[in-house]
Structure 1
Amino acid sequence: MRSTTLRKILPGMGTALLLAATSSAHADDPAKILKSMTDYLAGQKTMSASFDSDIEIITPELQKIQFASSGEIKMSRPDKLRVRRTGGYADVELVYDGKLISIYGNNAKSYVQADAPGTIDKMIDALQARSGTGMPGADLLLSNAFDELMATVIEGKHIGQGVVDGVECEHLAFRTPDTDWQIWIEAGAKPVPHKYVITSKTLAGAPQYTLRIKDWKTDALNADVFAFVAPAGATKVDLEGAAIAEFDELPPGTPTGAKK
């Protein structure tokens, strides 16, 4: 009798405990947690980190294919940035010194340059507007990241805690009319993002973009880090040239009609 009673009671207790834990997690304000992250990042003079990214495409035959790459980011606010991305199809680097933006494609052995005086924010906007090129997690680097991230959000939830690369994080989920996105933010005094996932809701198959960020550092960076020196033998091309194409996370052989 006692054994039978325990078998009936224990599953119910587990469910009650799970619901209690979930309710507690949901009680935290996701916008407040996100704001602590964006304020922390915006308040850092210098930052560096490494990343791994995965981007999915849906072919015209409705097959889902994923492409992976890795890289590193170094920045000094308000006007210096260096990003390198290496994948199976590209090895490309962007260098911005506050006046000039340089993008070098190692595979193409070519680079492009353009005047872009101002800030990192303005440079990112100008680059995306002119070439349609995006950068991994660029919205997380902006000085007004919170406003940009929340601009079209219609719902936000604090899912609970999670562990990314061994780091305990707060797991948040947000919805917009076109996408669902999630972010895992380190718990404690250093609220940096460790994982960022964007899911498209407007395409069949719901392709995702996943970014994992690690090795966060706020140490001072030498000014030479943000000086571009063209490698020997590199050819300078127009802004629409090969180096720009290489910066896209999709390889040149992506099936025609594929959507990401």
Structure 2
Amino acid sequence: MKSPQKLLYATGLGLLLGTATLLADEMSAKEIAKKAYAALDSQQSYAFNAAILNHSDDGENTHQVAVKVNRPGQLRVDVTGDIKNRSNYLNDGLYTVYDHDKNMYVRIKTEKEIDNALDDLFDRFEISSPLAQLMYTNMGERIKFDSSKNFGIVDLKGVECHYLAFSTKANEVHVWVTTGETPVIKNYMIKDKTSKNNAYKATTLYWKNANTISASDFVFAMPKNATEVFIK
């Protein structure tokens, strides 16, 4: 792996750390990641917002994402930004996607539990989403990588965080996880090793109070004059 400072400044993420000094950290990267995912697994309901910057070989775009999870079978994901403006609802086996720009929606029957429903949708439509790792259960056991490193503890915009990195043949993932008994992921950056132009996706997470979640969040209310699209 490249040195953390060189990689961060190459991708613009050095601004997050400023001139922070890396401090010693005894836990392994895998142990810290598993602890953060276990903290999520312990919650039936949780919510977070995500600010995503995607720097690809084709250009740059940004999106804001709002996620609400109510296990075992309810999920709401709202995406607004340069390319997508959509709301996604999973409600006990019924998945609905509404495109705000086109005023169109599609409904798909799927598995009832979130984990199985996401697997079904990703396999069926051959898509993937790094953010989904925060919606699955048991991600501490699901994640696979070739190597990992704990760079130590840093100050991330006033928040003390473990700074971790994981590597596979295709990607290098840098993750910042808060210290303490109930750790949460604050930021992560995925660098595409196959890119010729230093492509990466940087995500900042803002965790919300679960009390903001209500049953109506997971029910799609059809907007006026919306058109339903059917998938064969």
Amino acid at match of 1:24: A
Q: Is the 8 A contact 1:82 1:96 kept in 2?
A: yes
> How does 1:223-238 map onto structure 2 within 5 Å?
223-238=215-230
- The superposition leaves residues 53-72 of structure 1 with CA deviations (integer Å, 9 ceiling, x where unpaired) of 0112214xxxxx21101021
How far apart, in 1, do the equivalents of 2:184 and 2:22 lie?
23
Q: Distance in 2 between matches of 1:96 and 1:107?
A: 20
Match of 2:11 in 1: none
**Shift in CA distance, 223/89, structure 1 to aligned 2, threshold 3 Å:** same
Q: 1:154 to 1:136 in 2, by over 3 A?
A: closer
Equivalent pair of 1:157/1:172 in contact (CA under 8 Å): yes
Partner residue of 2:62 out of 53, 57, 68: 68
1:136-182 Cα shifts (integer Å, max 9, x gaps): 51012211211222x2x121111122334532211111111211101
Q: Aligned pair in 2 of structure 1 residues 155, 72: CA closer, same or farther (>3 Å)?
A: same
- Structure 1: how far apart are the matches of 2:161 and 2:173? 16
Question: What is aligned with 2:152?
Answer: 160
Q: Identify which of 118, 122, 125 aligns with 2:119.
A: 125
Distance of aligned partners of 1:219 and 1:166 in 2 relative to their CA distance in 1, 3 Å threshold: farther
Distance change (3 Å), C-alpha of 1:163 and 1:124:
farther
> Are positions 1:172 and 2:164 aligned together?
yes
Q: Is the CA contact (8 Å cut-off) linking 1:53 and 1:211 kept in structure 2?
A: yes
Residues 174 and 190 in structure 2, CA contact (< 8 A), matched pair in contact too: yes
Residue in 2 aligned with 1:90? 84
Residues 215-224 or 175-184, more deviating? 215-224
Aligned length: 212
Instruction: Please point out which of 129, 132, 135 is paired with 1:138.
Output: 132
**More helix, by proportion:** 1
Alignment pair present for 1:219 and 2:211: yes
Residues 136, 211 of structure 1: 8 Å contact kept:
no
Tell me the distance in 2 between the aligned counterparts of 1:35 and 1:217. 22
Query: Contact 1:120–1:142 (CA<8 Å) still a contact in 2?
Result: yes
Residue matched to 2:57: 58
Q: Which runs of 5+ in 2 are unaligned?
A: 1-20
Inter-partner Cα distance in structure 2 for 1:239 and 1:206: 36
- Shift of the 136–231 alpha-carbon distance from structure 1 to 2, 3 Å rule, reads farther
Letter in 1 for 2:210: T
Q: CA deviation at 1:200?
A: 1.1
State the Cα RMSD in Å.
1.9
Equivalent position amino acid for 2:166 in 1? F
CA contact (8 A) 1:55 1:68 kept: yes
For 1:98 and 1:145, the matched residues in 2 are separated by 21
Q: Compute the displacement of 1:119 (Å).
A: 1.0
**C-alpha distance in 1, partners of 2:45/2:212?**
6
**1:24 aligned residue:** 24
Q: 1:99 aligns with which of 93, 105, 126?
A: 93
Match of 2:109 in 1: 115
1: CA distance, partners of 2:174 / 2:162: 10
Q: Greater CA radius of gyration, 1 or 2?
A: 1
